[in-house]
Structure 1
Amino acid sequence: MTSVAGQAGWVPDEDDQPPRPHFSNVEEFVTTFLSPHIQRNLGGTMTWCSKWWKHTEAVSRLTSLWMAWEHQRLQGATGMSVWWLHHADPHMNVLLSRDAGPFARCKPDEHRQGKDLPCTPAPPNMWMSSAFSDTGS
């Protein structure tokens, strides 16, 4: 996990260490916090896969939610409200979407792997002018 040093709400002094994460990993966050707090009627327009950890997009989104939660918990009065409105709600809407989410092919207690987005390789020199390319300076 990246350090929270330099982020709003926490400024280290010479002897201070960054706050330790509340959860040790994304699985602990999902099983002990998110799952008990997100109690939705699955069916209709929502679905979930109990093997969420087999879905690359889900792992990325849930890890992002966890990291955002770890940051927002240190923000005081409105931190959790910001997390729910600007992080949890949008990500959970995508994750739980029966039609378009990463679990769309799964059935209750039955994991089905989705397919990668189709990709065609870019032309050989397309990324040469990228702002992130190594310029040797």
Structure 2
Amino acid sequence: MDAIERDDDDIEFVETAYANVAEFVEQLLLPTYRRNPAKHRWDPRWWEYQEVAMRLEALWRSFEYLRLEGPTGMAVFFRDYLDPTMRELTSENGPFWRLDKLGDERGVPDAWPSESPPRNMF
């Protein structure tokens, strides 16, 4: 069970349709979301990419919330969450950019370098 906030005062505990993001990806997303593999990239080890795992976790949580939002909840999920997320993840410039069109070359890109901002800046 997961807590879903309905408004500022009430927290309702609702059983999720999927226990976690991996279950959501394996049981709902991948069996139903199919695209041309010559134009879209996917790595079966998607969970090795921190960005992908974070985005899919957010997608799963959006699904769990919006599936309960009445007749248009799922339409909102597709339009505002699923389609933009999957376009970003599977595009040629997305996180799987190192994969060739057939998925033969793998590799999680290195993180970009960063310097810490000045103390107390944020």
More strand by share: 2
Identity rate of aligned residues, in percent?
A: 34
The question of whether the paired residues in 2 share the 8 Å contact of 1:55 and 1:113 is answered with: yes
Asked whether the 8 Å contact 2:88–2:94 carries over to 1, the reply is: yes
RMSD: 2.0
Distance 1:82 1:25 in 2: 21
- Cα distance in 1 between the residues matched to 2:27 and 2:65: 18
Please report how far the alpha carbon of residue 48 of structure 1 lies from its aligned counterpart in structure 2 after TM superposition: 0.5
SS at match of 2:4: coil
> What is aligned with 2:95?
102
Tell me the matched-pair count: 119
The answer to whether 1:31 aligns with 2:26 is yes
Q: Post-superposition shift, 1:7?
A: 4.5
* 8 Å Cα contact 1:49/1:109 also seen in 2: no
Structure 2 unaligned segments of length 5 or more: list them.
none
Where does residue 3 of structure 2 map in the other structure?
A: 3
TM-score (norm 1): 0.78
- Structure 1 residue ranges without an equivalent (≥5): 128-137
Report the residue type matching 1:81 in the other structure.
A
Cα drift, residue 125 of structure 1 = 3.2
Of structures 1 and 2, the larger Rg is shown by: 1
Match of 1:74 in 2: 68
CA contact (8 A) 1:49 1:110 kept: no
TM-score normalised by L of structure 2: 0.87
CA shift digits 1:3-58 (9 cap, x unpaired): 203249xx66xxxx5111110111110011000111101123x1110100100000
- Say yes or no: does 1:86 pair with 2:80: yes
Shift of 1:94: 0.6
Which deviates more, 22-31 or 102-111? 102-111
In structure 2, C-alpha distance between the alignment counterparts of 1:7 and 1:60, rounded to whole Å: 25
